[in-house]
Structure 1
Amino acid sequence: MTIDNSDYLGNATSQTLSRVQISPLDNIEKGNNITPSLVETKIIEIKLPSEEPPVPKVTLKDLTISSDPNADKIALILEKYGLCIVKNFMEDEQLEEVNKELEPHFAKNKDDPRLFPKETVRVTSTVNKSPAVVTEILSHPLHVDVCQRFLDQKNAFWIGENINIGYSPAIVTSSIAFRVGPGATGQALHRDDMSDHNIRQKQDTYKYGSESQVGISVALSKVTKDNGGTKFIPGSHLWDHFRKPHEKEQCLYLEMDKGDACFMLSSIFHGGSDNITKDEFRTLLIIFMCKGTQRQKENIYLGTPIEYFKQFNTHQLKLLGLSMSEPFSNMLELRDPLVDLKPGYVRKSNYSDVGKVVSI
């Protein structure tokens, strides 16, 4: 018996379910009550798309900027390959401050029964636990510049007799620190933009506007293939949504020195790899930014005292999603939340610009 795919649809349409056949699977096993279950529940039949274009034959050196990094250089590499390494992104003093603020949280979480695998300790929502994550990484000018290129939105709309312009900047969607210990097993290859239901179309060249998230991974310790460095498929951000990834034949493995950073489009296939060392821990911080019109992965507001956010400047608060997305999103009592967070802040309009139309 084939299940009617409309069982999965509300009033919206799906761009993917029409490409698969879904059937029941008998003898479904019960999953672990603590860890979200990946026990198979259905049979999926699909005609796989063409495996074109081929995976580019590149090395980590081809994806690395060793000196004088800027958003132009990074964007060119991201357009082609979906991932770019920047050497010496952070200074030692900045790293020490971030590590100092995160260490108590790693210690607190090391015995969390939800850990999967048990050798990997996570500190979630680091932007509301470590001010240094906000001041040194989230609001780092290079990070902001890259995210603006891929995620910021500015559009014009008819409002009566005017054409007005609204601007929606990128905001943080998740900020998770990982400490991956010896014996930790790797992740399955995946795309992080699945949380946004971002359906990929095959692209010959990269099309701006197709991305829903951009990530930055900062090495808080040395990262090697052996201690679990992220595996990824260069160029897979250009693939059709259902093109199948092949780990052994297609993956490169991320390696970074402490203080290096890796920019990554959320549409690239990737996943943490096995830590096969005896005594090395891989520690890194991964921040993902999303479009300001999207729902964030992590709710950083519930449970966080408002006084914590008041320590940041207006620019940083905007990156945290604590401002209006023009023209009318994320309002607090019909006003910009920044009015409550920053005394003296004034917003004169719900638009960046109000345009007088003189000809059509």
Structure 2
Amino acid sequence: MTQSQLARLAPDATPEAVVEVIMRDGGVVIEGLFGDSTIEGIKKDLDPVLDEVDNGHDEVFAGNRTKRASGLFARTEHMATIALNPLYRSVAERILNKPINIFFGEESVPNPTGMHVGATMAIKIGPGQGAQPLHRDDSVWLWRHPTYQREARVQIMVAVSDFTAGNGGTLVIPGSHLWDDERPPRLDEAVPTEMKAGSALIWIGSTYHGGGRNTTADQYRFGLSMGYDLAFLRPEENPFLTYTLDQIRSFPEEIQRALDWSSEHYVGWVEVDGQMSDPMDLLGRDDYTAIGAGLPGRA
């Protein structure tokens, strides 16, 4: 029997407690995770962006009464606040960063998996929008289930407006992360995420979920979402074409690394002056001026 609602925890919950609930239920609501200044700042920065974009052009997934915007690290400084939130980041690290031992010669050493930002998205679900098909986000990598060994993604949806059952609060099927790939999700098994602005839903890539149906006459449901993914998986949103070099240089170092300007987990290096180098080294060089062109040391 499906739960009638997701478990709810306070923002001072320990990462271990949050992970325990997520791995049991597939997701959890953290009440009041972000303060009023963050939420109001997101609205101020992103309302004009979303006002300028068209609704989606399909009725099935993107929604023909839903507005979306991505590339959010360049559009609001508060995106870094979300990504670097200590609780969310710690939960993602505990779920994703499970090292395995590999041999270097005869020595067995731990090899950490690491994580990076997979995508960012601001979403406004408009009045009259139907429910999104229930889906698993890790399907983009053809992940198989149940995922006994390793999850691919830990995602957060921040309520910028209140989320209700009527305005399209994210639908989640608790426990569906434990299903195999032969069981289809049914809408009557899903529960709506209801939470106040500033609260957040955190869930994993194997959990069935989807945008809810907005039955209101005049309410937009506004949420901001991002995912931390395993560092060796290709991100959904291409950071090298999304952000300019000047924008990348303006971000905190933790965000630069999270947007794949790092080879600390053995993938993503670049050859400079005949050496396999970390892309972070390029950001401090005046002679590096363009992404994908004019690499120092190349004629």
TM bucket (normalised to shorter chain) is 0.7 to 0.9
Report which of the two structures shows the higher radius of gyration computed on alpha carbons: 1
- Counterpart of 1:104 in structure 2 is 48
Find 2:269's aligned residue among 306, 310, 331.
331
Moved more, 276-285 or 118-127: 118-127
Count of paired positions: 279
Q: Kindly state the Cα deviation for residue 303 of structure 1 after the two structures are TM-superposed.
A: 4.8
- Counterpart of 2:95 in structure 1 is 150
- Counterpart of 2:282 in structure 1 is 340
> Structure 1 pair 153/67, CA: closer, same or farther in 2 (3 Å)?
closer
Find 1:270's aligned residue among 209, 212, 220.
209
Q: Kindly state the Cα deviation for residue 251 of structure 1 after the two structures are TM-superposed.
A: 1.7
- Counterpart of 1:84 in structure 2 is 28
> Structure 1 pair 317/234, CA: closer, same or farther in 2 (3 Å)?
same
Q: Kindly state the Cα deviation for residue 213 of structure 1 after the two structures are TM-superposed.
A: 0.8
- Mapped contact 2:70–2:122 kept (Cα < 8 A): yes
Find 2:73's aligned residue among 110, 127, 143.
127
Find 1:222's aligned residue among 162, 168, 188.
162
Q: Kindly state the Cα deviation for residue 173 of structure 1 after the two structures are TM-superposed.
A: 0.5
Structure 2: which amino acid aligns with 1:70?
T
- Mapped contact 1:122–1:178 kept (Cα < 8 A): yes
Find 1:321's aligned residue among 239, 243, 260.
260
1:128-182 deviation digits (Å, cap 9, x = unpaired): 4323202x10111111101101112433332235444433321111111101111
Q: Kindly state the Cα deviation for residue 287 of structure 1 after the two structures are TM-superposed.
A: 0.6
1:17-64 deviation digits (Å, cap 9, x = unpaired): xxxxxxxxxxxxxxxxxxxxxxxxxxxxxxxxxxxxxx344534xx10
- Counterpart of 2:113 in structure 1 is 168
Structure 2: how far apart are the matches of 1:93 and 1:313? 20
1:304-324 deviation digits (Å, cap 9, x = unpaired): 211111122322222222211
- Mapped contact 2:57–2:63 kept (Cα < 8 A): no
Find 1:212's aligned residue among 146, 152, 159.
152
Counterparts of residues 1-360 of structure 1 (less than 5 Å) = 55-60=1-6, 63-66=7-10, 68-110=12-54, 116-134=62-80, 136-201=81-146, 207=148, 209-248=149-188, 250-326=189-265, 328-333=266-271, 334-342=276-284
Q: Kindly state the Cα deviation for residue 113 of structure 1 after the two structures are TM-superposed.
A: 5.5
Structure 1: how far apart are the matches of 2:58 and 2:3? 39
Structure 2: how far apart are the matches of 1:295 and 1:265? 17
Q: Give the 3-state SS of the residue equivalent to 1:168 in structure 2.
A: coil
Structure 2: how far apart are the matches of 1:164 and 1:118? 51
> Structure 1 pair 154/267, CA: closer, same or farther in 2 (3 Å)?
same
- Mapped contact 1:66–1:87 kept (Cα < 8 A): yes
Structure 2: which amino acid aligns with 1:101?
D
Structure 1: how far apart are the matches of 2:58 and 2:5? 36
Q: RMSD over aligned Cα, in angstroms?
A: 2.0
Q: Kindly state the Cα deviation for residue 101 of structure 1 after the two structures are TM-superposed.
A: 2.0
Q: Give the 3-state SS of the residue equivalent to 2:120 in structure 1.
A: strand
> Structure 1 pair 336/297, CA: closer, same or farther in 2 (3 Å)?
same
- Identity over aligned pairs, percent: 27
